[in-house]
Structure 1
Amino acid sequence: MKILTAISLLLFISLSSFSQTDSQKIIALDLAWEKALLESDVVFLENLLSEDFIWVHDHASLTDGKKEVVNRAKQIQAGQMDNTRKRISRDQKVLILEQTAIVSGFTVVDRGPTPTTYNYMRTYVKVEGQYKLLANHTMAIPEE
């Protein structure tokens, strides 16, 4: 009985650390998404975004797919003006169920004159061993 309890405890600890590691990897990937947006990293965006990617912006004012996000990054790389100076994420929470990871949190985007805080929820799906960003929803938080 003691052996069974010990094995159960070790299994629980192993699984807990495994999911924590996965959560940390997802947060790192999500931070890399923010960096890629800031730097208009076309190659990273092309590799991260699912072909069916959808981004619903603030109050559904705009909906983008992979093509639009990548094209915008290409245009900025080609010299189009971009006034985004910083993107800082905070309070990330990760939920993982099988091959799907949901990340929610806040991103402060500084485009001047004052930064805007967005609440976001992103859905990542593991495809062939690699997470792809399938969906992103952002909503501006009103200033108080």
Structure 2
Amino acid sequence: MKWKAFILLLSFIGFSLSQTITGEANSLEFLKDRLIYKGNVILHRDSSTLKADEVVILLDKENKPYKLIAKGNVKFRENGRKAEAEFAEYDLRKEIIHLKGNAKIEENGRVVEADEIIIYKREKRLVAKGKGKRVRTVYVEEKK
């Protein structure tokens, strides 16, 4: 059983177009179709860092990750962009990040706060939704 878990870990580390993910947590559980990190989770992938209380990585039939689900105190950094929320779901194949619960994104002095924020990375597009409160934005004008 330990060897199967080790082989799964090796296949996980080399996933998604040869990008490496390194992970740290208080505990890690391997299941048939997922990895479950719990407690002070920190994942690094390329220039991205994800921190949360718990992260579940869903695996396809070839043991390749296709979705990350983060819960509790979620913080995400990538290329100068910072995001935080209570819950986040990252579809690695579609490159869509869905933040829920006190969602906030900061980039280049700009801020977006909402109940939900969806980032469409391929399209370079963002949608913010206010359910219990209004969407709040802060833009910094460039001096001419």
TM over 0.5: no
User: When you count strand as a share of all residues, which structure comes out higher?
Assistant: 2
| Higher relative contact order, chain-length normalized (CA < 8 Å, sep 6+) | 1
Bigger CA radius of gyration: 1
TM-score if structure 2 supplies the norm length?
Answer: 0.30
User: When you count helix as a share of all residues, which structure comes out higher?
Assistant: 1
